[in-house]
Amino acid sequence: MADRRARAAEILVILRRNFRVPRLSSVADDPFKVLIRTIISQSTAERNTRRAYDNLSRSFPITPERLSKANAKKIESSLRVAGLYRSKSKIIKEVSKTIHESYGDSLDFIYSEPTEVARKRLIDLPGVGPKTADIVLLFCAKRPVLPVDTHVDRVSKRLGLVPSNARYEEVRSGLQEAYPPKDYFAVHMLLISLGRAYCRALNPLCQECPVREKCPSSKSPLMRKGPRSFIGREHHGMVGNYRLGPMRPSATVRKRSSQICRTRGRRAPARSPRPRSSGLPPSQAA
């Protein structure tokens, strides 16, 4: 554990040198607004989340009462850019109705209740899961919880900070043990920044990654061999214990593979064709 904490601390120092941590006050707002924004962000890119939230706030005041009484079709059309807009619209109406009718239009219990009690009450709201609850608790009430989104989950596993098969609660408690509570917000934001800039789900940029010296996944045979590891193989990428799924070599990798093969007098592997859409539904395309 001491080793893991020391490595976790070194990683944090490097991340702070390479990425900016936003001020907590600039992202925390009214807890109800943070809740709605987080619901919209599920399975949605940051840019589209922002656009959908802006559309919604132009159409309605973001309050439990107004959203609970809002026309569902109008909410849907505001959220269309975010994807899953029908189910998100339904969840937003339901959660707004519950907060309006059962909580007097306020989530102020997050400031007064003990953390675990407030967390449970948030998770009991319709459509609110542990990640959304943790974001509201950390961002608004500055509670000592470390939310795990898709980037935090992927990056912390590749960095070996938590087991590769850990589920939400295990990742959260593993990171909470590895870092002191004062760093939870920074760790959350910085792992997201690293995941977006370098440690992408597909084709992570390990060679350029600022924490590669501390990352066990960067030393995996696949990563060490670089482009040559792609030669002549149908390839399913593993970075450390984290499966990336089927990967197609990038244009740069294919070019370097061809150069290596020419140098060695071998034929370059055939380029794997991109699947082309026939424009027909799958049932008719065959």
- 64-83 positions binding ligand SF4, by CB under 6 A: none
The interface region with ligand SF4, picked from 170-178, 182-190, 200-208, 224-232 by CB under 6 A, is: 200-208
11-29 burial: b if 16+ Cβ within 10 Å, else e: bbebbeeebeeeeeeeebe
Reported as type and span, the H/E element at residue 238 is strand 236-239
Binding to ligand SF4 by residue 204, rule CB under 6 A? yes
Cα separation, 32 vs 258, whole angstroms = 55
- Least Cβ distance, residue 215 to ligand SF4 (angstroms): 3
What's the start-to-end Cα distance of the chain, in Å?
54
Cα-based distances in Å from 76 to 37, 45, 83: 14, 17, 10
Burial state string for 202-215 with b = 16 or more CB within 10 A and e = fewer than 16: eebebeebbbbebb
Query: Binding ligand SF4 by CB under 6 A: which of 148, 217, 222, 254?
Result: 217
Residue 76 CB, nearest distance to ligand SF4 (Å)? 37
- Minimum distance between the CB of residue 163 and ligand SF4, rounded to whole angstroms? 16
Closest separation between CB of residue 208 and ligand SF4, Å? 8
> Residues 82, 133, 171, 199: which binds ligand SF4 (CB under 6 A)?
199
Q: Is the dihedral of CA 188, 189, 191, 196 positive or negative?
A: positive
The answer to whether residue 206 forms part of the interface with ligand SF4 (CB under 6 A) is yes
Sites for ligand SF4 among residues 132-171 (CB under 6 A): 155, 158-159
Judged by CB under 6 A, the residue of 133, 239, 244, 253 near ligand SF4 is 239
d(CA 21, CA 79) in angstroms, rounded, equals: 28
Pair 222, 229: CB distance under 8 Å: yes
Total number of residues that touch ligand SF4 (CB under 6 A): 15
- Which residues of this chain interact with ligand SF4, rule CB under 6 A? 155, 158-159, 198-199, 204-206, 209, 211-212, 215, 217-218, 239
